Amino acid sequence: MPIYLDHSYSDRMRAGSINTLSDIDGAIEHGAVERVRPKMMTVMAIMAGLVPILWSQGTGADVMKRIAAPMVGG
């Protein structure tokens, strides 16, 4: 997260658009929004890997379903 915030702040400093405290807040918000996409990609990859476990039938499926269900459903 600090990398995204620093990158956003540095870009705005180079452009000379940081003059007030609200400009710094805007740079921080922009850096935080940049971090949302990688987090969502990670969550979706984990959920996509666990969903087939919920439909499995076989040896150990009853135990694995109990482990996977809270991870997928929250």
Residue ranges per structural domain of the chain = 2-34, 37-73
Can you give the three-state secondary structure of the chain, one letter per residue? CHHHHHHHHHHHHHHCCCCCHHHHHHHHHHHHHHCHHHHHHHHHHHHHHHHHHHCCCCCCHHHHHHHHHHHHHC
Q: Which two tokens stand for residue 35?
A: 């971090």
Q: Which of 37, 36, 28 is nearest to 7 (CA)?
A: 28
Q: Is 65:43 a contact under the CB 8 Å cutoff?
A: no
What pLDDT digit, counting tens, does each position of 18-73 carry?
Answer: 889 998 999 989 889 988 999 999 999 999 999 999 889 988 898 999 889 888 88
- pLDDT for residue 1 is more than 80: no
